[in-house]
Amino acid sequence: MYLTGLECPRCKEKHAADRLQNLCHCGSPLLVRYDIGALARDIDRDDVLRGRDDMWRFSSFLPVPEDKIVSLGEGMTPLYSLDGFAGEIGMDCITIKDEGYNPTGTFKSRGASCGISMAAHLGAETVAMPTAGNAGGAWSAYAARAGLDCVIAMPEDAPEITMKECALYGAETYLVRGLISDAGRIIGTACERYGWFDVSTLKEPYRIEGKKTMGLELAMQLDWDVPDAVVYPAGGGVGLIGIWKALEELELAGWIGPERPRMIAVQSEGCAPLVRAFEDGRTDSDFWEGAETIAGGIRVPKALGDFLVLEALYDSGGRAVEVSDDEIMDVLLTLARTDGSFICPEAAAAVAGVKRMREEGDLTRDDEVMVINTGSGLKYADLLEADLPVLDKEDEINVTPEGE
């Protein structure tokens, strides 16, 4: 264990990591700090190659004592290239890191595994959170595994499967006629009233550590190198902050060099607070009124960690990009045909962002781009239509020969 404590990235105040913590007094999320120097002296980067077959192979970069890990085998997701699609948009190398392989079908499993492990370890009994859907499914599953009670509130138009997941795992689940921000207010009030532990995005410090493992893994999978750009569909932006933090810690440990990918955050035109802030050169974002997009996971009107996302974009020479819902749907359908890959609409936004940037000349043919497919398309069956011919038992298939 190399955990040393918690630190506020805004006012720099230090907080203890041996009790349940939410935000800093100043309202900022807290970040977890480690003795990376000691870690680097004890552990060789190639030791992790022989580690567990899930994200906990990086447990030295994580805050959970070995015997307190609550795991369903999350992480160590595969990389594969989108050759068909890349060729169509004039690029040589677009790689997907496919988080759809996680236990609950999205990368939210990583944050939930780490967050629930710590919540249970530090004595929480009931955890509560607002969600766009996928986080609810993941935290419900890990809460069930840890024996914690779980309360979830989600927009009533969240993907149906995510509602059923929460109910299935036994979480007390509420549907809200409103956005994730409305669900957040309801949960916040209930946490104050009932003493539940608020595990909203970034309101506890450990979800980001779980998501950080995406960055640790991708460097390892590239043989301790980094791509030219990491493209991420940003809602709260936790995954992006996590990947950025991972690369910083890996460099401190001497496991990678000082090179960094450009960090690219992609949002939908119907909810693009980070894009607006980036374009105005600001370090925080405004609440986005009337948020609307088919990519529910990135329908976040105001991110608590917006300043951390924007800092990573500026520091990495990256940027924020917005795409339309039509482009998102078009890319989702196209990728299935060109590459046999059924990604979630959020990741389709990210790939559409790559296409935009290539068209604008902001990416070159030989830029190595890694897109995080944050979840499996299989969780989004409600977005698709398939109008198929139906045969009677005695019917035959009559294919019309071409040209007739």
How far is CA 110 from its chain centroid?
9
Choose between 91 and 138: whose C-beta lies nearer to ligand PLP: 138
CA distance 86 to 370: 12
Q: Which of 21, 28, 71, 285 binds Zn ion (CB under 5 A)?
A: 28
Q: Report if residue 377 touches ligand PLP, rule: CB under 6 A.
A: no
Nearest approach, Cβ of residue 171 and ligand PLP (Å): 16
Taken in order 252, 256, 260, 261, the sign of the CA dihedral is negative
* Per CB under 6 A, 103 contacts ligand PLP: no
- Check: CB of residue 216 under 8 Å from CB of residue 60: no
239 binds ligand PLP (CB under 6 A): yes
List, as own/partner pairs, every contact residues 86-90 make where C-beta atoms lie below 8 angstroms and the sequence separation is at least 24, other chains included.
88/334, 88/338, 89/354, 89/355, 89/358, 89/359, 90/358, 90/365
Residue 237 touches which of Zn ion, ligand PLP, none (Cβ within 5-8 Å per kind): ligand PLP
Q: Are strands 197-198 and 172-176 parallel, antiparallel or unpaired?
A: unpaired
Phi/psi region, residue 25 (left: phi>0; alpha: psi -120 to 50; beta: rest), is alpha
CA distances from 67 to 47, 70, 118, 245 (A): 20, 9, 11, 25
Determine if 136 is a binding residue for ligand PLP (CB under 6 A): no
Nearest to 183 by CA among 165, 204, 193, 198: 198
- Comparison of 227 and 377: residue with beta carbon closer to ligand PLP: 377
Q: Which does 28 bind (CB under 5 to 8 A by kind): Zn ion, ligand PLP, none?
A: Zn ion
Binding partner selected for residue 234 from Zn ion, ligand PLP, none, CB under the kind-specific 5 to 8 Å limit: ligand PLP
Which is nearer to Zn ion, 28 or 293 (by Cβ)? 28
Q: Does 297 bind ligand PLP (CB under 6 A)?
A: yes
Query: What gap in Å lies between CA 101 and CA 352, rounded to an integer?
Result: 22
- Contact by Cβ (8 Å): 200, 112: no
Q: Please identify, using beta-carbon distances, which residue of 130 and 233 lies nearer to ligand PLP.
A: 233
Can you tell me the distance from the alpha carbon of 304 to that of 28, in angstroms, rounded to the nearest whole number?
Answer: 8
Nearer to ligand PLP, 98 or 367 (CB): 98
Residue 11 contacts which entry, ligand PLP, Zn ion, none (Cβ below 5-8 A, type-dependent): Zn ion
Q: How far is the CB of 247 from ligand PLP (least distance, A)?
A: 16
**Helix, strand, coil percentages for the chain (3-state, nearest 5):** 40, 15, 40
- Per rule CB under 5 A, is residue 21 in the interface with Zn ion? no
Q: At its nearest, how many Å lie between ligand PLP and the CB of residue 225?
A: 23
- For ligand PLP, the closer CB: 293 or 374: 374
Q: Select the residue interacting with Zn ion from 14, 18, 26, 68 (CB under 5 A).
A: 26
Joined tokens for residue 335? 């990728």
> With binding defined as CB under 6 A, does residue 115 bind ligand PLP?
no
Residue nearest to ligand PLP (CB): 297
Which residues of this protein are in contact with Zn ion, per CB under 5 A? Answer: 8, 10-11, 13, 24, 26, 28
Which residues of this protein are in contact with ligand PLP, per CB under 6 A? Answer: 106, 108, 134-135, 201, 233-239, 297-298, 344, 346, 374-375
